[in-house]
A and B are shown apart, each in its own frame.
Chain A
Amino acid sequence: MSRPVLELQEVAKRYMGDPPVEALRGVSLTIREGELVAIVGQSGSGKTTLVHVMGTLERPTRGVVRVAGQDVSEMSDRELSGLRAWRLGFVFQQFFLLDGLSVLENVANGLLYRAVGQAERRSLAVRALERVGLGRRLGHQPNKLSGGERQRVAIARAVVGEPAVILADEPTGNLDSASGTSIVGLLRDLNDEGRTIVIITHNHEIADSIQRNVELRDGLIVRDTAGAAVVSPPFRQGAQWGVGGE
């Protein structure tokens, strides 16, 4: 069995306020190297909090989080940031590409906080962009691209540093269905190449096309299909990333 890259044990997250909100109420989950996992659930079920805790963007109120075998609870801000820079890749619903930087520079930014030289950053970024089918868009400004292309740029930025896990928070949420299909296809292909990917989605079609589903409800895991085979044809067929038509 492959090594675990993300481990959560009895993780709870409570947001102080009036009244306090229990976003996660004891979540235990292990994600292993090379897995493709969909985390599903309705709005307010705690999906985003879960991905933030997994991505060390937020500390849990209680419980243990291990990323690539390292317990993050005692880590300083500097160490956590290092972990994000080297071990974790993020894809967001809103893409978060920086205007004023070219597509290439946006992707190269994925390596910025590793103190990699600029030339090396750029050459790795070119490779990542070619990998997601945007090798001809290197000098473009992000605002000149379609939504699907922008998300591809964001995915290239997440994979450029070969992180242990890629966390994609509603990656198709801002896209039309064709682009969404293509993006999921791309993520699936990246998974086929051995990358560990966690996709947060409330889209059942996408979730159904992914083998392992973890369903959250009110801050608890109510279903985990680890080991079950769930393959939905439409997304398999649409997995022709790198092809235009978005």
Chain B
Amino acid sequence: MNSRLTFPDLFRVGSLGLRSRRLRALLSALGVSIGIAAIVGVLGISASSQARLLAQLDALGTNLLTVAPGQALGGSQAYLPQAAPGMIRRVGPVLTVSGTGLVPNAQVFRTDKIPRVESGGISVRAADVNLLQTLGATLQHGTFLNPATAQYPAVVLGASAAQYLGISDAEYPIQVYLGGQWFTVIGILQPVALAPTLDRSALVGYPAAQRYLHFDGEYTTVYLRTDPNQVADVQAVLARTANPNHPEEVAVSRPSDVLAARVAAQGAYTSLFIGLGAVALLVGGVAIANTMLTAVLERRSEIGLRRALGATETHVGLQFLTESLLLSGMGGLAGVLLGSLATTVYALSNHWIVVVPLLAVWSGMASALLVGGVAGLYPAMRAARLTPTEALRTV
């Protein structure tokens, strides 16, 4: 003859308050949803962005090395010997080598009427014709330099440079005013992830640079691909190979390290936003506690009735705790969906891979329920401690 409440009945009883006061339930769950949505969204977007960077790293390869002149002993700008690319090419595991050379004092303008000060920071570089292949770069429009066009006033623009000059395609011959001469744009590059300096560059052939722009032919950056398994070995001998007399004046770097560092750096922003989400979650918890406390006061007669019908103190307490958990659980679920939706929209609009980490989903739901449990505990205890006669006396 004991008083018993089955689990399905507890669920029904606990959801009654939410069903009969829908708007209030919706509003009080909102805080939790916003908090969870922020947390899931931030984790999702950062995971998607990391996935994109890692995919990019995979696609670009981590076997690209760059060799550039560093600083000479006295602090002056060092230079690479003219023979550097040739010498590097002779290192066993090196697969391809290409160089670019900054053409000093050459600037590029849309027309010859533009004042010289408005160069837009676009540098002019002489480039080897196999540069594209070494970098794994691709073209938006047109073609790259070939042994023929490298001889003539033809230019390939980096992505940002083309944008600055207002040139969106190379379908029709367009000329730019480069180093005091008219050069024809034959191609526009896609952004080059591993060599971002090229995005703001105008590339001309080596022979053309020497012939039209009085370029001395000096290499300022040499790009090379190595056997992926021997990157570190090659990196170790590059300085001595490029400039045997002054290896200390050679700067060797691995551009993929920058991307890898960016993957790691994203964690810092993520924790900041998760902190903000946690604050929203806390505020949501306070809203739920407030709603539940109001519910206990408003529904005293229901509590009295239930006690008269045979509910124990525990049943009444569990009813309100269940209600609080359902409220926060619904908020959490809505938050997870909202956060996943935000991640999907953001990632797709950036052409990233959509990644919603399972950990974010579970931890989002778990923290919502935790907040609901803590918020509902005191109101549930208040409800349970109400004596039946106190509860019935209220109307």
Contacts and interface: CB of A to CB of B under 8 A. Distances in A.
Report whether chain A binds chain B: yes
Interface of A: 52, 55, 57-58, 77-79, 81-88, 90, 92, 94, 96, 98-101, 109-110, 112-115, 118, 157
Interface of B: 1-6, 8-9, 13, 16, 19-20, 301-302, 304-315, 387-389, 392, 395
Contacts of B8: 118
B346 to A, nearest CB: 39
A84 B4 contact: no
Given A98-B16, A100-B16, A78 B309 contact: no
A110 B310 CA distance: 9
A81 B307 contact: yes
Which one of B20, B312, B387 has the greatest number of beta carbons of chain A within 10 Å?
B312
Contact of A57 (B1, B13, B307, B314): B307
A82 B19 contact: no
B313 A52 contact: no
Contacts of A77: 312-313
Contacts of A109: 309
Top 10 nearest A-B pairs (CB, nearest first) are: A85-B310, A100-B20, A113-B310, A81-B3, A115-B4, A57-B388, A96-B305, A81-B312, A82-B2, A82-B3
A244 to B, nearest CB: 27
A236 B387 CA distance: 38
Contacts of B311: 81, 112-113
B24 to A, nearest CB: 12
B312 A114 contact: no
Contacts of B307: 57, 81, 84
Given A78-B3, A84-B308, A58 B388 contact: yes
A90 B2 contact: no
Contacts of B4: 113-115
12 contacts: A57-B308, A82-B310, A84-B310, A85-B309, A86-B310, A94-B395, A99-B20, A113-B312, A114-B3, A114-B4, A115-B9, A118-B8
A101 B3 contact: no
B289 to A, nearest CB: 22
A156 to B, nearest CB: 13
Contact of A90 (B5, B20, B308, B313): B308
A87 B310 CA distance: 10
Contacts of B2: 78-79, 82
Given A57-B307, A99-B20, A101-B16, A84 B389 contact: no
